[in-house]
Structure 1
Amino acid sequence: MATVPVDINSSNRSSPAPQDGKGEANDQGWKAKLKLPPKDMRIRTTDVTNTKGNEFEDFCLKRELLMGIFEKGWEKPSPIQEASIPIALTGRDILARAKNGTGKTGAYTIPITERCDPCKDAVQAMIIVPTRELALQTSQICRELGKHLGLKAMVTTGGTNLKDDIMRLYEPVHIIIATPGRILDLLNKSLVKTSKCGILVLDEADKLLSQDFKGMLDNIIDHLPTDRQILLYSATFPLSVEQFMKKHLQNPYEINLMDELTLKGVTQYYAFVQEKQKVHCLNTLFSKLQINQSIIFCNSTQRVELLAKKITELGYSCFYIHAKMNQQHRNRVFHDFRQGLCRNLVCSDLFTRGIDIQAVNVVINFDFPKHAETYLHRIGRSGRYGHLGIAINLITYDDRFALHKIEQELGTEIKPIPKNIDKALYVAEFHMQCESAEEEEEGISDSARPVGSSIGASKN
C-alpha cells in the first residue's frame, strides 16, 4: 500500500494554547477538567484493538476538538481511524474499506471537524449517507465533536419540511449531513452555496452508488469545486464503486482492513424451522437468551408489522420501523430504541446501514436474506466496536441454498444452534465476571492490570 508523508507540524493543525492564561500548569491539566462518560470496560476484539498504538493527540488536532473526542468517550483511535485520519488531514482523496462497527464514522468526522473553520460563514464539508436514521446519527456525532469549536452541523433528509431547511440555511452552517435526494433538491434550487465546500464524504458508498440512487452522486459532485477532497468509506466495494473512483477520485489513498468480512465478536448460528414454526422458535429464543437489546429483521415491511404485533401479543416489549412509516414516527422509534426504552426492534433492511446502538447484543434474521452483502450488514448491528454479540438465523427448507452460498461468499461459518448458548459469547457482564474470577484465581490484583487498555467506542 502506498504511503503519504504527513506534515504533522502544519500550523493549522497544532493544538492551541490554553485559553485562560494559567500557563504550563493548565496546559498539562486540561484533560482533568473534561466531563468524561463512564469507561466502557467490556471486552473488545482485535477488530478495534489491533492498532499501532497511536493516541488522538498524535494527530496534532486542535485542543477543542480533542476535548470533544474525549468527552464522547473515545479514548484511542481504532485501526481505521489510525490509518485514515492523518491522510485525510493532508487533503488527499481516500478510498477506505473497513468492517461495520469499527469506527468509520470517527475516521472521517474527526478530520472534517479539524479542517473546517468556524470563523467562515460557509458550508465547508458535506457528508452523504443512504438513510435518514444514519444522517441523524452522524449529525449528532459532528455536533458533539465540534461543540467546543463552535462548528455548526445541519442534517437534511427527505420526509421533512423543506421550508425548515431553507430557514436553517439563513444561519451559519459549516457541515451538512444529508441523504442524496434532499441535498440534490437543495443544490438544484441554489439554496446551498457550495463554492467553499472542499470536502465530500460518501459513507456506505456501495449503497449510495447502487441503483437506488442512480446518477445522484454525479449530479451532487457537479455542484462542488473542482479541487474538492473526496473521502469514500464502505464495508463492501462492488464494481459501481470502482467505476466511480476512476471517474472522480484523484490518486486516492487506498485503505483495506478487510482481511475477513464478518466481525470477530459476532458468533453466528442457524436453526432449521418450518415457516409456521418461526414465531414459536422466536418465543423460545426470547425465553432462553439473555437479551440486552435485539434487532429482528424481516424481508418486507408488511411482515415487519405482522411480526411486531405477534411479539407484543406474546407479552414482550417491541418497536418496529420500516421505510414506509411517517418520518416523525421513524425518528421517535429510532430515538427511543437508542435510549433503551424498548428491548426488541423489528425492522426491514432500512436499519442495516451504519446504525450504531451499542446495547444490541442479539440480531435475529427472522427472514433469511438472499444476498451476502445484506447478511453482512444485518449481523453487523451486533458486536459493535469490537464487542461481543450473536446472530441467529431462522432457516427454512427454501433458504438452505442461500445459507450455503452466503457462508462461501463471506468465508464464514454459520453453526447449528446449540441447546444452550454460552452467555460469555454475547453477555458482556457475564464475560467480565468470568474474567474477574479467573484473575482472582491467578492472583492478579487490580493494581497489576494494564492501564489504559480500554478503547473508546466509535459511533459508525
Structure 2
Amino acid sequence: MSADEEDEEQWKSELKLPAPDERFKTEDVTLTKGQEFEDYFLKRELLMGIFEKGSAVVRELGKHMRVECMVSTGGTSLKDDIMRLYKPVHVLVGTPGRVLDLADKVASLAKVHTLIMDEADKLLSPEFQPLIERLVVHCQKPQICLFSATFPVSVKDFKDKLDSPYEINLMDDLTLKGITQFYAFVEERQKLHILHALFAKLEINQSVIFCNSVHRVEQLAKKITQLGYSCFYIHAKMQQSHRNRVFHEFRSGSTRHLVSSDLFTRGIDVQSVNVVINFDFPKNSETYLHRIGRAGRFGHLGLAINLITFDDRFNLFRIESELATEIGPIPPTIERELYCR
C-alpha cells in the first residue's frame, strides 16, 4: 500500500465515514403541498405581478398596484439615481453603501416604515454593520426584518438590541433538503482530470464551480475552455458592469458552466443550475451552505460534488457536524433521479 493510500485509509478511519447507501438520498421536496401564493390572501393586483414575473423582479410585482420601485447599487451612476428620486419611490432596493449615499445627499428615509435585510449575516458582518446602523438612524425606528440562511453571532447580537424581536427558525426543516452531497478524495494535481470526468458523466443543465481565490477562478475557467467546454467566470474584482453581463448571460443559458468565487453564493437564483462543484473545498460551514444552495432552487433537486484533498479532511468532518448533514463518498454511478427532476 502506498503512502497516499495509507493516509486515505487513516483519515477515513478517524472520521468513521460510512459506505454509500440510501441515507445519502434526499427527500423529494417537490411533493410539498399548500405553499402557493394564493394561500396567503394577497391582493389580486399583487398576485397578477407575481404570476407574470415568477417573483423575480420587484419592480414588475407592483406594477398593477401603482407601486413605484427603484433599484440602486454601487458601480452605477449616482447622478442618474438622484434624478430618479425626484419622482415618488415607494420601494427602494439597493446595496447599503449606495442607499446610505443617497440618504446623506438627497433621499429622505424618515417615512420608511420597513427595513428588510436579505442575507443579514453578510450585511451585519464587520464590513457592513456600521453602514447598516447609520441607515437605521435615517429611517427613524422602522420595522426591521432580517432574513438569513445562517444565524451567526453578529445577527444574534443585532437582533437582541431590537425592541421585542420575534424569531422564526426553519433551519431544522429546510437545510440542504433536495441536494445530494458527495465527496471525491483527490490530490491537487488530479482535480482538473476529475472535473473533466464529471462533465462527461453527469447530466448537467448548468453548473457553478467554486474556487477559493480570484486567481484560481480565472485559471480554472481558462483550463475548462481549453478542454472544449463553454465557460464563464465571475468574481468580486471584476467591474460591476462585467459581473452583471456575465450573470445575465449565464442566467439566459448562453453557457453551461460558471466558475466563481464566493461572490456568487448569495441571493442569486438560476433555476436551471442542478450541479454545484466545490473545486476548492470551503473553510467553514456557512460558506459551504451558501455555495451548494445554488443548486436545487425553486423546489428542484440538485447535486453537490466536493473535491477533497488530504488537507481538507478535518474541514469536511467539521462541516458535516455543524450542519448535521452527511456527505457521502462518490459512487461509480450517480443516479440521474437524484438531481435531474
Tell me, yes or no, whether TM beats 0.5. yes
Q: Specify the code of the residue in structure 1 equivalent to 2:191.
A: K
Task: State the partner residue of 2:69.
Answer: 153
Distance (Å, rounded) in 2 between the aligned partners of 1:252 and 1:306: 46
Matches within 5 A, 1:8-407: 50=32, 53=34, 56-73=37-54, 141-189=57-105, 191-226=106-141, 228-247=142-161, 249-259=162-172, 262-407=175-320
- Relative to structure 1, is the Cα distance of residues 46 and 258 closer, same or farther in structure 2, using a 3 angstrom cutoff? farther
CA contact (8 A) 1:270 1:392 kept: yes
Q: Specify the code of the residue in structure 2 equivalent to 1:174.
A: H
Distance (Å, rounded) in 2 between the aligned partners of 1:353 and 1:402: 21
Shift of 1:188: 1.9
Gap runs ≥5 in structure 1: 1-43, 74-105, 107-139, 429-460
Determine what percentage of the aligned residue pairs are the same residue.
66
Distance (Å, rounded) in 2 between the aligned partners of 1:196 and 1:331: 31
Gap runs ≥5 in structure 2: 1-25
CA contact (8 A) 1:390 1:426 kept: yes
CA contact (8 A) 2:121 2:152 kept: yes
CA contact (8 A) 1:362 1:426 kept: yes
CA contact (8 A) 1:143 1:152 kept: yes
Distance (Å, rounded) in 1 between the aligned partners of 2:231 and 2:174: 30
CA contact (8 A) 1:261 1:411 kept: no
For the aligned residue pairs, the C-alpha RMSD in angstroms reads: 1.8
Distance (Å, rounded) in 2 between the aligned partners of 1:181 and 1:385: 30
CA contact (8 A) 1:151 1:174 kept: yes
Shift of 1:47: 5.2
Provide, for residues 115-174 of structure 1, a one-character-per-residue CA deviation record: whole Å limited to 9, x for no partner: xxxxxxxxxxxxxxxxxxxxxxxxx52112112112221111111221121122122221
Shift of 1:212: 2.1
CA contact (8 A) 1:264 1:386 kept: no
Shift of 1:385: 2.6
- Relative to structure 1, is the Cα distance of residues 306 and 393 closer, same or farther in structure 2, using a 3 angstrom cutoff? same
CA contact (8 A) 2:30 2:300 kept: no
Provide, for residues 287-324 of structure 1, a one-character-per-residue CA deviation record: whole Å limited to 9, x for no partner: 11110000000001111000000000000000100000
- What TM-score comes out, normalization by structure 2 length? 0.88
Distance (Å, rounded) in 1 between the aligned partners of 2:28 and 2:72: 35
- Secondary structure of 1:212's match? coil
Q: Specify the code of the residue in structure 1 equivalent to 2:52.
A: E
Task: State the partner residue of 1:439.
Answer: none
Shift of 1:56: 3.5
CA contact (8 A) 2:29 2:300 kept: no
Shift of 1:207: 0.9
- Relative to structure 1, is the Cα distance of residues 66 and 196 closer, same or farther in structure 2, using a 3 angstrom cutoff? same
Provide, for residues 98-119 of structure 1, a one-character-per-residue CA deviation record: whole Å limited to 9, x for no partner: xxxxxxxx6xxxxxxxxxxxxx
- What TM-score comes out, normalization by structure 1 length? 0.66
Distance (Å, rounded) in 2 between the aligned partners of 1:260 and 1:146: 31
- Relative to structure 1, is the Cα distance of residues 417 and 59 closer, same or farther in structure 2, using a 3 angstrom cutoff? closer
CA contact (8 A) 1:321 1:348 kept: yes
Distance (Å, rounded) in 1 between the aligned partners of 2:324 and 2:147: 22
Distance (Å, rounded) in 2 between the aligned partners of 1:72 and 1:45: 28
Distance (Å, rounded) in 1 between the aligned partners of 2:252 and 2:36: 30
CA contact (8 A) 1:337 1:345 kept: yes
Distance (Å, rounded) in 2 between the aligned partners of 1:239 and 1:149: 39
- Relative to structure 1, is the Cα distance of residues 46 and 279 closer, same or farther in structure 2, using a 3 angstrom cutoff? closer
Distance (Å, rounded) in 2 between the aligned partners of 1:253 and 1:54: 22
1:412 aligns with 2:325: yes
- Secondary structure of 1:223's match? helix
Shift of 1:45: 5.7
Shift of 1:57: 4.0
- Relative to structure 1, is the Cα distance of residues 175 and 48 closer, same or farther in structure 2, using a 3 angstrom cutoff? farther
